[in-house]
Amino acid sequence: MDVYAIRLNFSERFDPMLFERLSDRLEPEKKTRLKRFYREEDRLRGLFADLMIRDAISVKTGMKNHEMKFIQNEYGKPALKCHGDIHYNISHSGVWVVGVIDDSPVGIDVEQVQPIDLDISKNYFSPDEHQDLMSKEDKFDYFFTLWSLKESYIKILGKGLSHPLNAFSMKFLESGEIIMKVDGKRIDDVFFKQYPLDKEYKMAVCASHCQMPERVTILTPKELAEKFLYR
């Protein structure tokens, strides 16, 4: 497994010509979807998420960018066509774009910690999680800790929010291990790991095994762009 992250800089306007050249490296349908975004931030998140995964697939398989074709399942989760042994997932929030690639199903989520109506936890969290949340001093921090973990599991399933977030519970053991419970019973075939990006974000990976890297590979927009400009 490899885990990647890119921090985007929205304080400076991105060169439109460079965006056009990089988006030409994507499939036409994806390029068209990116152009439909009204906000430049959304276009850049989508562009670099796609480039990140394409680069990760190339590193993992040796495939050339033009050889990569993608499909989606009925819930919209993308996959590499004709390569069932390659699994990946992406997420983005605020200035961060993150991705993970593995040889078995995997999910990733990143969330920006910000004020939110904590009452929604009654609808999206299990009773145990809501009780844990209410006991915390920094409730916003813990809310997004739970949310990122739960989203990473939803994304490994690949069924979108058709699987209710309150149908399972996340629990932190004294050992630091993160486990998941359904109807009070521990589920043993999923594993979780959190990665620190910066103090304003929570990031989590969910996998079917515990062999997850200790660190995130941090890429810069410049180095990733250069890889595709000169391929």
Q: How confident is the model at residue 84 (pLDDT cuts 50, 70, 90)?
A: confident
Over residues 208-227, the mean pLDDT reads 95
Q: Which of 22, 86, 6, 43 lies closest to 231 in space, CA to CA?
A: 22
Alpha helices in 84-160 (DSSP H): 121-124, 127-134, 139-157
Over residues 188-208, the mean pLDDT reads 95
Q: Is the pLDDT of residue 76 over 90?
A: no
Integer Rg of the chain from CA: 18
Which tokens sit at 42? Answer: 């959304």
Q: Is the pLDDT of residue 158 over 90?
A: no
- Name the 3-class secondary structure at 229: helix
Looking at the domain that runs over 2-229, which CATH code has it been given?
3.90.470.20
Q: Which of 194, 231, 188 lies closest to 208 in space, CA to CA?
A: 188
Q: Which of 145, 155, 37, 32 lies closest to 91 in space, CA to CA?
A: 155
Over residues 167-182, the mean pLDDT reads 91
Beta bridge partners of 70: 80
* Predicted local confidence at residue 231, as pLDDT: 66
Against a cut of 0.85, is the pTM above it?
Answer: yes
Counting DSSP H helices and E strands in the chain, the numbers are: 7, 12
Over residues 106-113, the mean pLDDT reads 97
DSSP symbol at 26: S
Q: Do you know the residue count of the chain? A: 231
* Predicted local confidence at residue 162, as pLDDT: 66
Q: Is the pLDDT of residue 213 over 80?
A: yes
Which helix (H) or strand (E) is 31 found in, with range? helix 28-36
Between CA 1 and CA 7 the distance in angstroms is 20
